[in-house]
Each structure stands twice: as structure tokens, then as C-alpha cells.
A and B are shown apart, each in its own frame.
Chain A
Amino acid sequence: MKILISIAAALLTIVVTTSAQAFCGFYVARADTSLFNRASQVVLVRDENRTVITMANDFEGKVADFAVVVPVPTMIEREQINVGDRAVVQHLDAYTSPRLVEYHDPDPCVLYERSERMSSDGAAFPKANAEMKRGARSQGVTIEASYTVGEYDILILSAAESDGLIRWLNDNGYRVPRGAKGVVSSYLKQDMRFFVAKVNVEEQSKLGYQYLRPLQVAYESNKFMLPIRLGTLNARGKQELYVYALTRTGRVETTNYRTVKLPTNTEVPEFVQEEFADFYRAMFDKQTRAENERAVFLEYAWDMAWCDPCAADPLSAKELRQLGVFWIAGNNRNNGSKIAPAAAQNVFVTRLHVRYDREHFPEDLVFQETGDRQNYQGRYVIRHPWKGASSCDVTQYEASVRERQEREAQQLANLTGWDIDEIRAKINFAGGERPVPENEPWWKRIWG
């Protein structure tokens, strides 16, 4: 039997159409130019009370006029902020993406000769100053430090009161979303601090980047959380957030919202291959509604050392170090004679997908690491019927294929909420004849 598995990964960037306007922090614009980022991706590396957070965004718009205000659970210093590599986040995204697996039926007349091949098409992944300081102090905002990291000018703020921070932002030409004051004040009382990152146009052109690279912050705090409240303030509609947690022990889940596994390992009709993104979006919509729009969804949970099937290779030790996985040794011990380092061990990745707004997610996301190392992946299966010439009577085979195709149609309708008749119309039923579903009314077929 010949089984061909090829994988098309649905990258979050194509899955998501809703425009989102912020992630952990909120953006402030100087002018009326609008800024869109379709989805936010956050990588959370966590062990004990140490956290390294990487925040990546898909910006659309002129970046020079914008700044982002990011809350962090503790006071941070210059060395704790870094600018990361977007490619690594994209790789992590590809590695953890929901996948479509395809199998080809063998020649029904030849029941032996079994071979397997697996391929993964990497290319198929769509991917994803002194004067200022004086002014600040008079408003109860102390700029603790300001410096340039990569293409960003970073200002670490220590605000005695939120009014000061908001006013400071306004005075410096930034437009602050309505309602920000209340949230900022609440965060400050919870001992959270803020930093502002704005694009240094000169540096950016020197570096030659056309996009914004992800910001990284390393800090030590008991709080294993992601502040999403500011992000809901200026949002138009719901926002999409992907959290990739890299931990030592096991799967990560939210403690204050339900974490739900998406349906997986389901056989779907062949045509889903062409519309996998639509399929995934529809399924995600339906599952979100089924959970009253209040759940966080698990899309992937796996030991970083391997994958099966692989949507992309596991991340190398070097890439993991770049993301801040501090407990593994990077492969920088280059003594030339050694063989390539083995796949990274002792890293468990959890991919969570959440669609949120203020109404359904009033509170910030709080996480916990569990001891669960059970692997989970979003995997959807396509089985192609045998289409080659056959040397025997295939009536029975075709009947069994039709039965399977009908079952796949119903499963797809269940998963996505799509109309069953429209699904059936897209299926090339074996032998050109659609089977009669068990519960179809008798009159449906009288007039064709």
C-alpha cells in the first residue's frame, strides 16, 4: 500500500482575518494613521519564576509614527530587554501549526506492496533625553532609563501615578486609547511597570529591516501571566493571540479560563486540501462559539525533541536559546570536530490560541505549568481514493469509499457548521454516485 503524506500547515497568519490592534501592551499613534496587526504572537519561556517573553507582531502601516507601551510584572533594567529574530518565531509557528495529512488509497486490486513516504513542504508555509526627563518628572513619571536597542528607542518608566504616565504620553504626541488610564492605574497598583518602545527610524534604516523585529524581555516574577487588558481597549472587535509556551516540565494551561483541546485526528473530504485555511477558520469559529467565546484553545503540545508528522523541523538548541530557553546549552561550543548537536531536549512546547475581547475575557490570562507531557496536535486527515486503472471488479471498493466519503462529509459539517449539501456537492463520490444517507427524507431524491 502506498501512503503518501504531505503536509500543509495552516499558519495562523492566514487563519486569521480579524484585524487586531494590540497585544500585551497598547499602541499609541502620533497621527491618525491606522495601524493593523493581524495577529499577535507571544512566546513565553518559563521555568520556576523566571520568564522570557518574546512579542511578535504583523505590522501593517508606517511604523515610524508608533510606539508600543508594554506592561511588565516587575521593574526591569536595560539588559533585560532584547530585540529578537522574527524568523525564529516564524519557525516555532510553523512547527506547531495545525496540519493536514494526506493518504492515498492503494490499488484495491493489489493488496500488498506497502511503502511510506512523507514530505513536508517548507515553502508551502505562508508565514507567518534630558529635556524629556525633566518634563516627565514633573508629571510623576520618572524615566528610569532610555536607550536604543536595535531599531527601538526604549524608555523604561516608573510612574508614581497613572495620570502622569498617560499625560506624559499625550504630551509627547501619542494618542492613548480611551479607558487606558483605569487599566494603567490598576497595573501600577499591582506593582507592574511599563516600558515604551518606539521605532528609531534612523537605526531602522541603518539596520535595513522592513518590519519590526520582536521585542524580548526577561524578568523574574511569580506572576505567570499575560496582560491582555490593555489590548482590548482600542480593539475593533475580537483579537487573535497565539501563545507559545516553552517549559521544562509539561503542558501549560490557563488557570482562570478553560483550556480546551480542538477536535483532532478527524478525516475530512479531499477538497479541504484546497481550502484548509477556510476549514480551520470555520472550525475554530464553531468551537469558540460552542465554548461561549470564553475558552483558550490548545493547538499543539509536544516534546520539542521530535514531531510526527512534522510541519517543520523542531527548533534547534540555538534557536531555543534565542527565544530565551535559558536551561539548555546553546550550540556555541564550536570545537569543529563534533557532530551536529542533537535535537533540543527537555523543552516542552504548548501552543494556545485565544480569540478575546473585553466582554468575554475581563481578566488577564493566568497560566500554570502542568506535569502533563502527553503529546497533542491538531491533525486532519485526507484519504484519496484510488484513481488509477484497476484490473478487477471495484464495485465493492467504490461502495466502501462512498460510505467513507459520506462519513467525512458529515464530520466536516459537524466540525465547521458548513451546510452538508454544499459539502456533498463538492465531493467527487466514487463511481460518480452519491450514497443515500441513512436519515435523508425519501422525497429528496424524487426529482433529482
Chain B
Amino acid sequence: MKLISRLRDPRYYQIAVLTVLVCFGVTVLDFGIRWQNAAAILATALTTQFFGTVYARLPRFDPLSPLITSLSLTLLLRTDEVGLAATAAIIAIGSKFLVRFRDKHVFNPANAALVTLMLASDHVWVSSGQWGSAAIGAFTLACLGFLVLTRARRAETTIAFLLIYATLLFGRATWLGDPLAIPMHQLQNGALLIFAFFMISDPKTTPNSANGRVLFAAMVASIAFVIQFIYYEPNGPILALIVSAPAVPLIDMVMRGRHYQWQRPVARTRKRLKGVY
């Protein structure tokens, strides 16, 4: 029973999918993942989580979330310096413990690290175009499988983001008179899918209510579109998420909902627990 209830935790599936993606990226696509960076990110993230657990006096050390953050960073962050990869993990996990508002961390960990380092250093970048079209097909299936298996729990954010972003892209193409092959091609982007399924979907940093999440997704999609197609800057979605993050507490104030717990049965037994980090 315990095992089954544990497996209901969607993070196991996330970890499985992300691991497959990393392996696929390294072996088949060869898109620049350096194993030193991956090792540094993983080790640093787990260590930071451990110290964070002690600092926040959490009842137990939870390796799942830092594992997901590590895998996301491994997939998205490119750098030629191992030190920067490790710094990314510290910023990501550290921000969870330090930047908090009303028992929730404000920024998505991997997102906070990516943006901070991209702005601070020339040696950090995101290679958003490195997924071939064949890979995108398999990837989309894996992501959709994720929705099915988790019974689309809290998947409003992902679905709303993709729908709104796609609508904006198709709308732009229609206004410009461009062939629809162009927005289709823009949507077939590996980094965009990782973002939609594994970053913006994070239930810990999105609003508590379903309506709030849809509103938030719409906000991120619109800002991403403006960054990408009006200011012509790359990495629109990643930048849009960090810009929108401070709006989450405001949305929560207006639209009330229940704070998400990864494993509800466990969380209910511990009154002191202020939410698993």
C-alpha cells in the first residue's frame, strides 16, 4: 500500500521521463550535455537540499525534487565551466529555502538558476534548437503519457500555457500571412516542451486554485510571446516565467485554493510540516 501511494507521486514519472531524455540527448542527439556538468549539478543539488533540510528543520531529506531540478538543469543549461554548473544547482535549490512567501517558494528552482546565470555570465546559455524533429515526436508522446498517468492533476498550467502560446503563434502567422508550417515549426521546440511539461507545471510555484493557474499560464505565455516576437530576444518562456513568478502570491490572495503537497497521505500525518520542499 505504501509503495502504491508513493508511486502516485508524479515526481517518479517525471524523473523517469527526464532521465530517458538526458540519456537520449547524450547518446543519440549529442547535443552538448557534458557529463562533468551533469555530475556537478546532481551532487551539488543533493548537498544543497540536505543543508536546506537541516536549515528549515524539515522532518526528512527528500531527494526527489532536487533530482528533478538537476535533470531539468542538465537538459537545459549549457556551460563550459563545471563551477557554473554547480553554482546553478546551489542557486536553484537555495532559492527554494531562502526566497519564500507564505510557506511557498517564489521561483521555480531550475528557472531561477538559469535566468540568474544567463544574465550574470557569458558562459551560460540554453540550446533550445538542439532537438531533432524525430526526437520531438517521441518527446511529445512521453509528455502526453505524463498527463495521462498523473491523471492530469494540476496539468491546467501546462495545457493552458501550450494552448495560449500556440494560439498566439498561429495568430501571428495569420496576421503576417505566413504559411502555417512556420508556427508548427516554432512549436516543435525541445526546450519549449521541457519548459511546458517540467518547469511551468511545477505545482509548488504555481497558484493554488485552478483558475489562478490558468490565469498564470496565460500571463507567462503572453510575456514569452512578447519577449520572443516583439523584442526578438531568445528564451522567451524561461524569462517570462521568472518575471511572472512574483504574481503568484497575488493571484493566491485573490483566488483561494489548496496548497499542493506532493504526497498527501504523508503530509496529513505531520501537523508541523509546512509543505514538503
Interface status of A202 (Cβ within 8 A of chain B): no
Q: Given A221-B232, A372-B78, is A256 in contact with B129 using a C-beta cutoff of 8 Å?
A: yes
Q: Are A371 and B123 in contact (CB under 8 A)?
A: yes
Count of interface residues, chain A, beta-carbon cutoff 8 Å:
35
Residues of B within 8 A of A222 (CB): 231-233
Which A residues are in CB contact (< 8 Å) with B125?
A: 368-372
Contact (Cβ within 8 A) B127 A253: yes
Which residue on A lies nearest to B179, using beta carbons? A362
Contact of A258 with B185 at beta-carbon distance under 8 Å, contacts A222-B233, A372-B78 already known: no
Q: Tell me which residues from 7 to 65 in chain B have a Cβ below 8 Å from any Cβ of chain A.
A: 29-32
Question: Are B79 and A371 touching (Cβ within 8 A)?
Answer: yes
Q: Is B269 an interface residue (CB 8 A)?
A: no
Q: Which residue of B lies closest to A254 (CB)?
A: B129
* B127 to chain A: closest residue by CB: A253
A185, A253, A292: which contacts B133 (Cβ < 8 A)? Answer: A292
Known: A222-B232, A258-B129, A259-B129. A182 touches B80 (CB 8 A): no
Q: Which residue of B lies closest to A361 (CB)?
A: B185
Chain A residues with CB under 8 Å of B1's CB are: none
Secondary structure at the B interface, as helix, strand, loop or mixed, is: loop
CB <8 Å contact, B129 and A186: no
- Nearest CB to that of A255 among chain B residues? B129
Q: Could you tell me which residues of chain B, from 180 to 227, have a CB within 8 Å of some CB in chain A?
A: 181-182, 184-186, 189
Judge whether B176 is part of the interface by a CB distance below 8 angstroms: yes
Partner of A182, one of B177, B231, B234: B177
Q: If the complex has contacts A186-B177, A255-B234, A259-B129, are A292 and B122 also in contact, measured as CB distance less than 8 A?
A: no
The interface bits of chain A over 313-355 (1 if a CB of B lies within 8 angstroms of the residue's CB, else 0) are 0000000000000000000000000000000000000000000
Query: Roughly how many angstroms separate A186 CA and B178 CA in the complex, as a whole number?
Result: 7
Instruction: Give complex CA distance A2, B155 in Å.
Output: 66
Are B121 and A368 interface neighbours, CB within 8 A? no
CA distance A185 to B175 in the complex (A): 10
Residue pair A371, B124 in contact (C-beta under 8 Å) = yes
Which of B124, B130, B132, B178 meets A294, CB within 8 Å?
B132
Contact A258 B132 (CB under 8 A): yes
Instruction: Please indicate the chain A residues that have their CB under 8 angstroms from the CB of B78 in the complex.
Output: 370-372
Q: Which of A242-263 contact B (CB under 8 A)?
A: 249-250, 253-261
A387: chain B residues at CB < 8 Å are: none
Q: Which residues of B contact A224 (CB under 8 A)?
A: 232
Contact of A256 among B177, B179, B185 (CB under 8 A): B185
Contact partner of A259 among B124, B130, B234, CB < 8 A?
Answer: B130
Q: Is A291 an interface residue (CB 8 A)?
A: yes
For residue B134, which residues in chain A have a CB less than 8 angstroms away from its CB? 292
Given contacts A190-B176, A292-B134, contact A253 B129 (CB under 8 A): yes
B140 within 8 A of partner (CB): no
**Contact A363–B175 (Cβ < 8 Å):** no
Shortest distance between the CB of A229 and any CB in chain B (Å): 9
B193 to chain A minimum Cβ distance, whole angstroms, is 14
- Complex CA–CA separation, A189 to B79 (angstroms): 36
Q: How far is the CB of A159 from chain B (nearest CB, A)?
A: 15
Chain B 74-104: CB-based contact to A (< 8 A → 1; otherwise 0): 0000111000000000000000000000000
A374 part of interface (Cβ distance < 8 Å): yes
- B214 CB to nearest chain A CB (Å): 28
Note all chain B residues with C-beta closer than 8 A to A43.
none
A362-399: contact bitstring with B at CB < 8 Å (1 yes, 0 no)? 11001011111110000000000000000000000000
A223 pairs with B176, CB closer than 8 A: no
| B244: A residues at CB distance < 8 A | none
Cβ of B128 and Cβ of A372 under 8 Å apart?
Answer: no
Asked if B131 is an interface residue, CB under 8 A from chain A, the answer is: yes
Instruction: Show 8 A/B contacts (Cβ-Cβ < 8 Å), sorted by A.
Output: A185-B176, A186-B178, A222-B233, A256-B189, A259-B129, A292-B134, A294-B133, A362-B185
8 tightest CB-CB pairs across the interface, nearest first?
A: A371-B123, A362-B181, A186-B176, A222-B232, A370-B125, A223-B232, A255-B129, A249-B122
| Chain B interface residues (CB < 8 Å from chain A) | 29-32, 78-80, 121-125, 127-134, 175-179, 181-182, 184-186, 189, 231-234
